[in-house]
Structure 1
Amino acid sequence: MSTPLPTFKQVATRPKWIAVLALCLLVAAVFAVLGQWQIERAVEQGQSDERDTETAVPLETVAQPTSTLTTEAGGRMVSFSGTWVPEDFDTLAGRSQEGRTGTWVIGRLLVAPPGSESAGPVSLPVALSWFAEAAAAERLVAELATSDAEVDLVGRLMPTEAPTQGDIQTGATEAMSVAALINEWQDYNGLVYGSYAILDQPSAAASGALVDGAEPIVSMRPVTDTQLNWLNVFYAIEWVAFMLFAFYLWYRLVKDALEREVEAIEDAEAAADRR
Structure 2
Amino acid sequence: MDSERPGVPKGRVAVLTVVALLVVLACGGLGVWQWQRGNVVITEPPARQPVAPVSEIVDAGASGAAAVLSADEVGHRVEVTGTFDPDVDLLVPGRALDGVVGSWALGVVVLADGSGVPVVRGWVPEGTLAPALPTGTVDLRGVVQPPEASDLAPSTAALPAGQTWVVSAADLINRVDYPVANAYVTDTAPAAGLRAVPPDDPGQATRRLDWRNLAYAGQWWVFALFAVVLWFRAVRDERRAAGEDDPGTPADGPVHGAGGRDMSGAR
TM class, shorter-length: 0.5 to 0.7
Residues in 1 aligned to 2:99 and 2:185: alpha-carbon distance in whole angstroms: 23
> 1:33 maps to which residue?
30
TM-score by length of 2: 0.56
Counterpart of 2:69, as a letter, is T
1:190-211 deviation line (CA, Å, top 9, x unaligned): x52533242734xx4xxxxx6x
> 2:216 maps to which residue?
none
Counterpart of 1:31, as a letter, is G
Task: Please state whether the residue corresponding to 1:274 is helix, strand or coil.
Answer: coil
Q: CA deviation at 1:151?
A: 2.5
Q: 1:242 to 1:224 in 2, by over 3 A?
A: farther
> Given the alignment, which residue of 133, 142, 147 partners 1:156?
142
Q: CA deviation at 1:223?
A: 8.3
**1:28, 1:243 within 8 Å by CA — same for their partners in 2?**
no
> 1:132 maps to which residue?
125
- Equivalent pairs, count: 223
Q: 1:164 to 1:25 in 2, by over 3 A?
A: farther
Q: CA deviation at 1:72?
A: 7.8
1:226-256 deviation line (CA, Å, top 9, x unaligned): xxxxxxxxxxxxxxx9898666534421221
> Given the alignment, which residue of 181, 189, 199 partners 2:171?
181
> 2:94 maps to which residue?
94
Counterpart of 1:218, as a letter, is A
Identical-residue share of aligned pairs (%): 15
> 1:228 maps to which residue?
none
Residues in 2 aligned to 1:4 and 1:11: alpha-carbon distance in whole angstroms: 18
Counterpart of 1:97, as a letter, is L
**1:158, 1:198 within 8 Å by CA — same for their partners in 2?**
no
Q: CA deviation at 1:80?
A: 0.8
Q: CA deviation at 1:94?
A: 1.4
Counterpart of 2:176, as a letter, is Q
Task: Please state whether the residue corresponding to 1:216 is helix, strand or coil.
Answer: coil
Residues in 1 aligned to 2:188 and 2:246: alpha-carbon distance in whole angstroms: 90
Counterpart of 1:265, as a letter, is D
Residues in 2 aligned to 1:89 and 1:49: alpha-carbon distance in whole angstroms: 29
**2:195 pairs with 1:217:** yes
Counterpart of 2:54, as a letter, is L
Rg larger in structure: 2
Matches within 5 A, 1:10-21: 21=19
**2:74, 2:145 within 8 Å by CA — same for their partners in 1?**
no
Structure 1 spans left out of the alignment, 5+ residues: 114-120, 205-209, 226-240
Q: CA deviation at 1:125?
A: 0.1
Structure 2 spans left out of the alignment, 5+ residues: 60-66, 205-220, 256-267
Matches within 5 A, 1:59-138: 59-60=54-55, 63-65=57-59, 66=67, 68=69, 71=72, 74=75, 76=77, 78-84=79-85, 86=87, 88-113=88-113, 121-134=114-127, 136=129
> 2:240 maps to which residue?
260
Q: 1:174 to 1:77 in 2, by over 3 A?
A: same
